[in-house]
Amino acid sequence: MLYKRTEYFRHSFGNPIEAEFRILLGEQHAAASRPGNCKMLDISSGGAKLYTEYDIPIEVHGLNLRLRFTLYEQPIEQEGKIVWKKPYKNGYLYGFDFLEQPLIARLIVDDLKLRVKSGRD
């Protein structure tokens, strides 16, 4: 699958949002890592840009992530794949493509609207 960044409106955060990720392995995601911390730099209904000091081995076949974050008040969990990785400062930037889940995509858009209205960004 090609990464088509222009398909979605992206919201960049003035102050990155704290998030948590777990690495998922195996066909049924039978193995999950302990949680790791990351910062979300931007988001759209289709994906996000993340920063973490962890060197996630994206070349491992079948590796997915489960990301947990809060945009406004409600915690959101979304799974997906890392589509790119770049060294940055003391860690790495990652492009994260969400799995298609229309209800979660709608929740992301609605929570972003509430976040902007509240003046958090």
Show me where the domains of the chain are located. Answer: 10-115
What is the overall mean pLDDT for the chain?
Answer: 89
Q: Is the pTM of this model over 0.75?
A: yes
- The answer, yes or no, to whether residue 121 has pLDDT greater than 70, is yes
pLDDT value for 6: 46
Contact 43, 108 (CB under 8 A): yes
Q: What is the pLDDT of residue 39?
A: 98
Whole-angstrom Cα distance, residue 34 to residue 20? 10
The CATH code that applies to domain 10-115 is 2.40.10.220
Closest CA to 113 of 7, 8, 11, 5: 11
- For the stretch 2-44, pLDDT in tens is 545 445 688 999 999 999 999 998 766 567 789 999 999 999 9
Q: Label residue 1 by pLDDT band (50, 70, 90).
A: very low
